[in-house]
């Protein structure tokens, strides 16, 4: 009887493979620990000190900064605006993006093909993503100008109507910021959902039409369930965007979060406390709260939107 050599990977080969993977990952993991994990851990420590950015050994004050947050009215306004954005920005953006993606990919005469010129429209929708955030903010400062040179107020004044204080009226400023964020984000998700629709076999849409499905039924019973994983990812990304709207708020709005703190968000208050008031300990406490909000939102969204995967 002859003995055959044992099949599979030998211990030496496994060792070499593990050594190669370790060597390959050593540099990026080290850089990640130094430049990402370490600063975040330091922020947790600084949040429990009274550091003002100049002393080498700040005094440890425990949870005093977090207790101070509870009585800070500006902080609660910022939290309110971030929570509103967490709800409104993903909902509005995804609804609009799904509508346009469905129209571009399944809006043809037969209902299973895109409309004429759909590629051109995708480029147009995606164009805001090419612009830097600061450019978008400066652009909409001019659009929302309260005088006759404003793109929106100019026609209103020409018709004899009163100009609208898009950025100067506390009741309107937040909604102006939300509109800009939706305008900037929706094009990317139109392209993302279009890519998801392109991966769905057209036979499924044709079969649904043969069974008598109209456009609305086709969207809610076929398109949306098959795109659910993509929608879930988009929801999380937009939620993270809603927590990180510093540039738009700081550059575009009056008083970097005004008027009367009507557009301020947590990121703006972190910057203000750190680099205007030099309260780095307090700013770090704000950063910790913002971190917990972001992680909590991501976990909650993934939990609530979890459903059985549809294979096709």
- Residue ranges of alpha helices (H) inside the chain are 11-32, 38-46, 64-70, 73-106, 118-130, 133-143, 153-158, 173-198, 202-210, 215-218, 224-226, 228-243, 246-252, 266-275, 280-304
The answer to whether residue 55 is domain-embedded is no
Closest CA to 47 of 297, 275, 270: 270
Query: Would you say how long the chain is, in residues?
Result: 312
Distances (CA, A) of 118 to 38, 108, 113, 123, 179: 46, 10, 10, 9, 24
Please report the pLDDT score of residue 308 as a whole number.
57
The verdict on whether omega for the bond into residue 259 sits within 30 degrees of 0, i.e. cis, is yes
Please report the pLDDT score of residue 96 as a whole number.
95
For the chain, 312 residues long, give each residue's pLDDT as a single digit of tens.
444 445 555 787 888 888 888 888 888 999 999 998 998 899 999 999 999 887 778 899 999 999 999 999 999 999 999 999 999 999 999 999 999 988 888 765 555 666 777 788 888 888 888 899 999 999 999 999 988 888 898 888 888 888 899 998 999 999 999 999 999 999 999 999 988 888 887 777 778 777 777 778 888 888 888 888 899 889 889 988 898 899 999 999 888 888 889 999 999 999 999 999 999 999 999 999 998 888 888 888 777 766 655 555
Q: List the structure tokens of 51.
A: 């550091």
Number of domains into which the chain is organized? 1
Rounded to two decimals, what is the model's pTM?
0.84
The answer to whether residue 122 is domain-embedded is yes
Domain extent, residue 267, equals 65-304
Cβ(154)–Cβ(148) under 8 Å? yes
The answer to whether residue 202 is domain-embedded is yes
The answer to whether residue 193 is domain-embedded is yes
Please report the pLDDT score of residue 309 as a whole number.
57
Residue tagged 């949306």 (tokens): 224
Going 175 to 180 to 184 to 187, the CA torsion angle's sign is positive
**Element containing residue 130 per DSSP (H, E):** helix 118-130
Cβ(223)–Cβ(102) under 8 Å? yes
Residue 122's CATH number: 1.10.3720.10
Q: List the structure tokens of 59.
A: 């005094």
Residue 7 per-residue DSSP state: P
The answer to whether residue 79 is domain-embedded is yes
The answer to whether residue 32 is domain-embedded is no
The answer to whether residue 46 is domain-embedded is no
Distance, in Å, from the CA atom of 77 to the CA atom of 139, rounded to the nearest integer, reads: 26
The answer to whether residue 220 is domain-embedded is yes
Residue 276 per-residue DSSP state: T
Residue 169 per-residue DSSP state: -
């Amino acid at each position: 009887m002859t003995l055959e050599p044992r099949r599979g990977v030998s211990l030496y080969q496994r060792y070499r493979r593990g050594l190669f993977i370790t060597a390959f990952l050593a540099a990026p993991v080290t850089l990640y620990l130094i430049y990402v994990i370490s600063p975040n851990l330091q922020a947790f420590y600084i949040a429990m000190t009274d550091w003002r950015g100049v002393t080498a050994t700040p005094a440890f004050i425990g949870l005093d900064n977090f207790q101070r947050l509870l009585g800070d009215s500006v902080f609660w306004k910022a939290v309110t605006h971030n929570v509103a954005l967490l709800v409104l920005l993903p909902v509005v953006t995804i609804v609009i993006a799904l509508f346009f993606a469905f129209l571009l990919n399944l809006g043809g005469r037969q209902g299973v093909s895109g409309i004429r010129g759909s590629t051109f429209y995708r480029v147009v929708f995606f164009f805001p993503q090419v612009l830097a955030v600061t450019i978008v903010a400066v652009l909409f400062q001019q659009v929302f100008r309260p005088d006759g040179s404003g793109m929106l107020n100019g026609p209103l004044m020409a018709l004899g109507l009163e100009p609208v204080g898009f950025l100067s009226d506390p009741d309107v400023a937040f909604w102006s910021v939300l509109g800009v964020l939706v305008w900037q984000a929706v094009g990317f998700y139109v392209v993302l959902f279009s890519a998801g629709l392109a991966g769905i076999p057209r036979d499924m849409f044709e079969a649904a039409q043969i069974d008598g499905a109209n456009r609305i039924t086709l969207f809610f019973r076929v398109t949306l369930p098959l795109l659910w994983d993509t929608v879930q990812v988009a929801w999380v990304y937009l939620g993270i965007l809603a927590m990180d709207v510093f540039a738009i708020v700081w550059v575009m709005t009056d008083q970097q979060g005004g008027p009367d703190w009507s557009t301020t968000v947590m990121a703006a208050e972190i910057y203000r406390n750190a680099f205007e008031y030099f309260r780095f300990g307090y700013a770090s406490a704000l950063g910790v709260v913002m971190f917990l909000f972001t992680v909590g939102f991501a976990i909650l969204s993934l939990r609530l939107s979890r459903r059985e995967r549809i294979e096709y």
